[in-house]
Structures are given as C-alpha cells and as structure tokens.
Structure 1
C-alpha cells in the first residue's frame, strides 16, 4: 500500500508552524516563574496538584480556538485571506510588545493572576491561572491566526489540524511539567534567563506573524486578479 507524502508533509509543517508560535505566546517556562510567585504562600503540593488541571484547561481553550476560531470568523463573512492578514498582524504586534518589553508582559499577567488573591488555590485553577494568565487573549488570537493557515484543499485539512492539535497537546504538557516543577525552574533558570528566552521566542513569533501576513496578502492578490 502506498501513501501520499502530502498529508505527512502537511502534518509536520502544521506542527512546526504551530508549536513555536504557541510556545512563544504561552511561554510555559517564564509563566512557571510567575505561577510559583503567585502561589508562594501555598505548599509545593498545591502547585503540583493544580498543574495538571491548568494544563487540561489550557489544552481545551487552545484546541477550541484552533479548530473553531477560523470557521466562526468565516461564518461572519471574513475571507481566509483577510483572516490571515489580520491574524498575522495581531501575532506580529504582540510579538513586538514581547520583544521590546517582556517585563511589562510579565507584570500584566501577574496583576491579572493576583486579583483574587484571597481565593482558595483550587478556585483559582481556571480563573485567573488558566484564563487569562496561561492562555489569555494573546494565546487565543494566535491560535485563531494559526487556524487561518489551514490548506484550502480538503485532503490536507485533517493532517493540518492533526499537526496543529499535536502542538497544542505538547504545549499543554509543557505547562503541566514546568508548572509542577516551578520551584526547580526558578532555581535553574531565574528571572533573567526566562526573559532572554522570551525575547528569542518573541522574535521567532514575529517572523511567524509576518509569514502569515504575507500568505494572506498573496491570497487576497490572487483573489483580486482572478476577478479581473
């Protein structure tokens, strides 16, 4: 039995596109440091108990945005090309903010997570530790922008979403691992090390955003020329 190389290529390409983009915006390494700080008054067992719950919530939020976000916008008449341009601009703008001032991004996430400081740790698992701290509007918009990169051909759509969904699963797994071991991350990497990594990943995220914009512009130009 022979298999077409296209689905495999689409699967791998989708994973390689989605993983660095989602890793850059979620930043499980840097987020683990803030997670540890926000739960510093709780025992280590509490952080370990919350880590899988937050990872599971994050997985479903990102997966839902990835699988349904693009189709919802298309339902409202937004073309695939326009969605790619808008999504790419959102990704690039957020990447620029992360690249220029990662400290402000960290402080904003910490402020969002510390608002219900008096709540029990278990009550904080979804809000604010998952939403908006781990997977906030930025991560959701990136996932929707990634969904706009789905192939037009029907036989390539499923491998694309399988590869992107695998990237979401890996990100959720990393959230689980790094949140669970947040004390070790803090001792090994430190705040400055996390910020250096954030800047490197933010630059990669900006490149991905520009690539999405370019593919959107190409689609719009092709559509315009086809109607002439």
Structure 2
C-alpha cells in the first residue's frame, strides 16, 4: 500500500510539474515583478505558491463536480484555458523591450503586484488549464471506498505540497537566475519561455479540439 502511494505521488507530481514548468515560468514571473525589491518579490512568490497549493486542492477534490455543476466539459476547459494562456504568451512575445532607465522612473507598487498574485500569476500562468485538466484526470476514477479514498486524498495533498514548494523555490530564486544569466541572457530566456508558453497554450487548445471533434468524426464514420 505504501509503495502504491509513493508511486501515485511521484506520478502525479512529475506529470503536473512538467506541465507547470516552473523554471521557464520563473522568467515570466521575474519580468512581471521587475519593479519590485527582492523582499517584495519573495513575498509575492510565497503568495503565488500558496495560491497554487489551494487551487490544486480545490481542483483535486471538487474540480469534477464544479465542472458538472456549471455544465463545463473538459474540452471547453482545455480550449478556453489554452486560449487564455496563448493570448498571454503572445502579448509577452510582442511586448516592447524596456528602456534602460524605464524601471527607475516607474514607482514601485507592491500592493498592485499583490493584487495580481492570483490572476494572472497563479491562474493561468502557474496553475493553468493544462494543470487543472491533469489534476482532474488524476482523480477522475477516485474510489468511494474509504481506505482508497483516504490514500488518494493523502496523495493529492502531498502532490499539492510538493508543487507548492517547487513553485516557491523557483520563483523565489528567479532574480538569482536572472543575475546568473545576465541582462541579455534573461531577455532571451524570457522570450523563449514566452514562446514555450504559447506552444503549451496552442497544444492545450488542439487537445481540447481533438477531444471534441473525435466523437463527431467517429459518429459520422459509423453512420
């Protein structure tokens, strides 16, 4: 039973963390918090990681019932969420580069930055539609048997904690990564990250469209 639990935790964590890709998103986070001090950025990273933890918990335990309550299909979640991710990434790709003294003339506004901790820094940039769909799929066949439900719940909470720690660590050290790469290296990393995020958004949309169109195509073929 313990080995099965560990296997479930490792499977869920690796699946989610590969989709979230916190190292790549850390450069997006660094760009969005360019006007903040290190202390303010650290506080924001903590807030975003905590938000991600609670989002995952909600999705793990009540994600499927919520979708059913509002009549939202998994396909709609993927298409709509993927579109939001793709648009955000496209805006980042086409954003003009800051002038060398631009950050200096902009007032630091940590309150405004904190107001963006949930949207868009947590949703959809960190725990986006791909993450939500994966979390829902991981628990789609959760048993109602008490012992199995408890083990599955433990796995869900543990996975959420591990993801929270990974997000906090990478976002909290985003500035260190930026200093290591240098100004030009950070610009390149940001553009690459934005492009990868755009590809992820498009892939999520394509997956949703494929899942929506496949039954229709199969029905016509059968008819």
TM tier, smaller: 0.5 to 0.7
Per-residue CA deviation, residues 19-76 of structure 1 (Å, 9 max, x unaligned), is 233337x9233212322x131xx4x344335533442233223432453333212123
Cα distance in 2 for residues equivalent to 1:161 and 1:207: 29
Structure 1 residue 56 corresponds to structure 2 residue 43: no
Cα distance in 1 for residues equivalent to 2:16 and 2:212: 17
Q: Is the 8 A contact 1:85 1:217 kept in 2?
A: no
Cα distance in 2 for residues equivalent to 1:13 and 1:207: 21
Deviates more, 1:168-177 or 1:97-106: 97-106
Structure 1 residue 184 corresponds to structure 2 residue 176: yes
**TM-score w.r.t. structure 2 length?**
0.62
Would the alpha carbon gap of residues 146 and 96 (structure 1) be closer, same or farther in structure 2, given more than 3 Å must change? same
Cα distance in 1 for residues equivalent to 2:86 and 2:2: 45
Would the alpha carbon gap of residues 171 and 148 (structure 1) be closer, same or farther in structure 2, given more than 3 Å must change? closer
Tell me the number of residue pairs that the alignment of Structure 1 and Structure 2 aligns: 202
**TM-score w.r.t. structure 1 length?**
0.61
Q: Give the aligned partner of residue 77 of structure 2.
A: 87
Superposition map of 1:110-129 within 5 A: 121=110, 123=111, 126-128=114-116
Would the alpha carbon gap of residues 96 and 163 (structure 1) be closer, same or farther in structure 2, given more than 3 Å must change? farther
Consecutive unaligned residues of structure 2, counting only runs of 5 or more, are 98-106
Q: Is the 8 A contact 1:150 1:161 kept in 2?
A: no
Q: Give the aligned partner of residue 153 of structure 1.
A: 141
Structure 1 residue 68 corresponds to structure 2 residue 69: no
Cα distance in 1 for residues equivalent to 2:47 and 2:122: 13
Cα distance in 1 for residues equivalent to 2:135 and 2:212: 12
Cα distance in 2 for residues equivalent to 1:9 and 1:181: 29
Question: Shift of the alpha carbon at 1:196?
Answer: 0.8
Q: Is the 8 A contact 1:55 1:175 kept in 2?
A: yes
Cα distance in 1 for residues equivalent to 2:140 and 2:62: 16
